[in-house]
Structure 1
Amino acid sequence: MFQPDKYQKKDRQYIFDFIKAHPFATFVIKGKELLATHIPILLKGNAENFILYGHIAEANEQYRHLKNELEGLLIFHGAQGYVSSSWYKNVDISTWDYSAVHVNVNLKIQSREELVESLKNLVHRFEKDQDDPVYYEDLPEEMIEDHLPMITGFWCEPTKIQAIAKWHQGYDKDDIHSVTRHLEMRGDPLSSELSKNIKKEHGTGN
């Protein structure tokens, strides 16, 4: 990852919280060519010592290449957006603000029991806030038995972690105010989240 010093994020708690808040990742491995899939990835552990896990369908081309100790890359994406040079008080260059975490990992294939536990955790994570949640345990046994053989779960042991947050570091208060105001005027969730990130980085309000 290209990481200018001023945009690097090295705090482990920041990285842990970022992954937890943005669990839908890009999962990249090398087969006959580079292969990527977009899947939810969850954490187990704490900021100082964690492992990640997920699963893919056996119909996925990546499945044919999964094995223990295979190297993979997980990319977690935060809010991002274009920033126009017209928003600055002085002439400058347009840019793109964004945040991301890259985690290089070694894979370990899960047992059936580990996969079941992982699926229970995954479903609970995203169902618990629903009005009428349907948990893994609520699914018909026949349905579960039909689907389990079609997916493979895996652990992801981190070997390298990089994090970047390009949030207009180095700009003055007037430009920060203008950038965040224009982002909010777009009215879309990504721009609004990006504006909040920039404000938090610069301590300019909620």
Structure 2
Amino acid sequence: MYQPQQYKKDDPEFIFKFIQNHPFATMVSQSNNLMATHIPVLVEGRAQNFKLYAHIANHNEQLKTLKDGTEILLIFQGTQGYVSSSWYTEKDISTWDYSAVHINARIKIQTTKELENSLKKLVNTFENKQNSPLFYDEIPQQMLLDHLPLITGFWAEPFKIKGIAKLHQGYKKEDIKSSIDHLEKGDWQQKLLAKDIKEENDL
């Protein structure tokens, strides 16, 4: 990951919270060529010491690259968007603001029991946010038994972690405020980006 010093975000608390808030990751691994799959990845443990877990469909070709000890790259991306220099007080170069976390990790394939526990945590994590949740234990048992053999669960144990948040740090305050005002009038992602820029710059 390219990390200019002013945007570097390697603080464990930032990383841990970022993964919790942006769990849909891109998983990259190496075969004869690079391969990638987009999957939800959850974090377990504490900010100073955590591991990740996920699962992949058995008919996904990338599964062949995932063995115990295999290195993968997990890319978690936050809100992002174009910031026009036409919003500034003086002419300047436009830019793109974003945040992301990259984690290099080693795979450990889960047992069936570990996979089942992981699925339960995954479902319950997101069902907790629903008005009428359907928790894992409420899904018909036969449906779960039919589904488990079709997927493979794994742990991902990090050994290199990098984060970045390029959110207009170092710009003039009036230009930051103007950018926030314009983004808040945009679509949902621009509104979220405006919120991140505001928080990063204590506005």
Output the TM-score relative to the length of structure 2. 0.98
Query: Corresponding residue for 1:200?
Result: 199
* SS of residue in 2 equivalent to 1:154: strand
Alpha-carbon offset, residue 172 of structure 1: 1.3
Query: Corresponding residue for 2:5?
Result: 5
* SS of residue in 1 equivalent to 2:184: helix
Between the aligned partners of 1:65 and 1:10, the Cα distance in structure 2 is 28
Note if 1:185 corresponds to 2:193.
no
Query: Corresponding residue for 1:168?
Result: 168
* SS of residue in 2 equivalent to 1:161: strand
Between the aligned partners of 1:132 and 1:31, the Cα distance in structure 2 is 42
Alignment of 1:134-145 (within 5 A): 134-145=134-145
Between the aligned partners of 2:15 and 2:129, the Cα distance in structure 1 is 24
Alpha-carbon offset, residue 103 of structure 1: 0.4
Query: CA deviation digits over 1:34-69, x for unaligned, max 9?
Result: 111110000100100000000000011111221000
Query: Corresponding residue for 2:132?
Result: 132
Between the aligned partners of 1:69 and 1:17, the Cα distance in structure 2 is 26
Query: Corresponding residue for 1:102?
Result: 102
Between the aligned partners of 1:127 and 1:121, the Cα distance in structure 2 is 10
Alpha-carbon offset, residue 136 of structure 1: 1.1
Unaligned runs of 5+ in 1: none
Query: CA deviation digits over 1:55-102, x for unaligned, max 9?
Result: 000011111221000000000010000011111111110110000000
Between the aligned partners of 2:202 and 2:65, the Cα distance in structure 1 is 46
Flag as ranges the 4+ runs of structure 1 deviating above 6 A: none
The residue identity in structure 1 corresponding to 2:125 is: R
* SS of residue in 1 equivalent to 2:171: coil
Alpha-carbon offset, residue 155 of structure 1: 0.3
The residue identity in structure 2 corresponding to 1:7 is: Y
Query: How big is the alpha-carbon RMSD for the aligned residues of Structure 1 and Structure 2?
Result: 0.7
Alpha-carbon offset, residue 162 of structure 1: 0.4
Between the aligned partners of 1:5 and 1:32, the Cα distance in structure 2 is 34
* SS of residue in 2 equivalent to 1:55: strand
Query: CA deviation digits over 1:99-121, x for unaligned, max 9?
Result: 00000000000000100000000
The 10-residue stretch of structure 1 (170-179 or 127-136) with the greater mean CA deviation from structure 2: 127-136
Query: CA deviation digits over 1:128-178, x for unaligned, max 9?
Result: 121221111111111111110000000000010000000011111100111
Between the aligned partners of 1:158 and 1:66, the Cα distance in structure 2 is 15
Between the aligned partners of 1:137 and 1:26, the Cα distance in structure 2 is 28
Q: Give the aligned length.
A: 203
Unaligned runs of 5+ in 2: none
State percent identity of aligned pairs.
Answer: 56
Between the aligned partners of 1:9 and 1:132, the Cα distance in structure 2 is 37
Output the TM-score relative to the length of structure 1. 0.97
